[in-house]
Amino acid sequence: MMQFNLLFDIHGKNHAIQNVSARTYKSLDGVWQIIIDPLENGYYNHSLKPRKNGYFKNEKMKNPDDLIEYDFDHNYQLNVPGDWNTQMEKLYYYEGCIWYKRSFDYKEKINGRIFVHFEAVNYECKVYLNGAYLGDHVGGYTPFSFDVTELLQETDNFLIVQVKNTRRREGVPTLNTDWWNYGGITRSVKLLELPDTYIEDYFVRLSSDKDNIITGWVQLNGENLANMVEISIPELGEEIRVETNENGYASFSINSGPELWTPEKPKLYKINLITDFESIEDEIGFKRIEVKGTHILLNGDPIFLKGISIHEEAPFGGGRITSGEQCKILLNWAKEMGCNFVRLAHYPHGEVMVRQAEKMGFLIWSEIPVYWTVLFNNRDTYQNAENQLVDMINRDKNRVGIGLWSVANETPVNGERLSFLRKLISKAKSLDSTRLITAALDSQKGEGDNIIIDDRLGAYVDVIGINNYCGWYSKKPEECGALCWENKFDKPMILSEVGAGALLGLHGAVNERWTEEYQAEVYRHNLEMVERIDFIQGLSPWILMDFRSPRRNLKHIQMDYNRKGLISDTGIKKEAFYVLRKYYMEKGN
């Protein structure tokens, strides 16, 4: 039984708290004051040393001759959650530093511990409350929390966050990507109200070898760690009590036969975790996913993953997704297409997307942004990647819809990269042995009509993801159907990316690039190719909807958008959408 590394520090450390939406909280979403600070004057002085009275002090003039060269309250404003690029025209291409401030009162009686919880900030930040430093966080897509109990005031609290989306060579992702670098506090912010001793984390799942056994563990944090915890599943009539040890940890096992989750019937059970101090409710499903030879088995039966790739780009106008309704729109389009699988690329999407996807019956590929040419020989880069992997798995390990954890996308083949990714794979398996591990490769070899998958990373993943753009970046569309594939590994393959670009409403011959007809023709011939690959067990074409990317500079066609979407950024379906839909509707498991 795996126990996660836990942080028990009360102040200045990131706390990983499970199922935040089920806790008592006060939302800090809404309008925040901001200061745009490209030179980081709010943090560094003219000698490039940290200032003791930086913007985080939120100083005000007290005397007529005071010199204070900033003022949050008479400056710009931005909505949180949200990216700054699409909220203010002058920030569209901005990469740099912006300071956020949110003032609030907290007159409620404090009977425990209060945490400020950020669902995501892109890309790095420093957090202050009432002028005191709480901590920092690196990584634009995973949650973090800080204990603020001792710093809260009844009135006039000010929470200040320095946010930087500056791309860095040593970052994860690195300098070069193919999606928009949306900056800001991009997901919700909450003040969590927890008892002195609280349920910090838990993992509830199907036993690794028996379908009638539910196993799991629970971890408490706080002052009185040796306590009784009740775990109940009312629909199954199950209720047990376990006692945590002096470290607050207890494992458990329930002899019960739950109905297993499937895309056709995505069954979830209400589960209650109760102590003398609090009660938490979650919705958890049970499944078994594994590989046997070149097959993927769900609950013991072969399944073909009819999928689509999705970026966390809001429908109808773009920008970072900020609501559950936006998630539902994208997932409903995938459902209309006939999908039972979504690849949430290229980073952990918001928890609301993951929860909504599993409720709708989608198996999920979830990924960290080890993308293209990160610094595989840099120790700090590796630690950054591992931290993001741990955060992703920790947050979503109870989400039954997760079928695959992905450690990378389109990384170059060399020894340093192999060592880097093998360590990530080992870490993922140590944290969660119930899911499959994958990575999207673009390293297959080809000569004539023959393609060979021989990347050494294939020996270490459970499922091999392959990105191949026949008809777009190589060969002509009509040449794709005849391709013959060979796999050096006795493992299943998912065609994790395939597709072509098209501008909505541009029509012409099937050999005219950027037309809807050309994109549809690429799909027709690639689907012919798929039918010739006996070890392929799914695909997630690129991509559901057009999305912003600064790499796309063909202005009369792209206009800062990657046009490989089957649906335009305005929500209109292209011809290729219906080609893929027809294939999925006719394709069985």
Domains for the chain: give ranges and CATH numbers. Answer: 20-194 (2.60.120.260), 198-286 (2.60.40.10), 290-583 (3.20.20.80)
Say if pTM beats, i.e. exceeds, 0.85. Answer: yes
Longest dimension (CA), the chain: 80
- Answer whether 373's CB lies under 8 Å from 338's CB: no
Distance CA 302, CA 16 (A): 35
- pLDDT on residue 4: 30
Provide the residue type at 411 as one letter.
Answer: T
Ranges assigned E (strand) in 10-112: 24-27, 30-36, 76-80, 97-104
Percent of the chain with pLDDT over 90: 93
Q: Is 273 helix (H, G, I), strand (E, B) or coil?
A: strand
- pLDDT on residue 10: 31
* Residue 223 C-alpha from the chain's centroid: 32
> For the segment 92-113, what is each residue's pLDDT rounded down to a tens digit?
999 999 999 999 999 988 889 9
Kindly state the helix (H) or strand (E) to which residue 279 belongs, with its residue range.
strand 279-284
For the sheet with 76-80, list strands across it. Answer: 76-80, 30-36, 97-104, 157-164, 124-129, 132-138
Q: Which parts of the chain register pLDDT below 50? A: 1-12
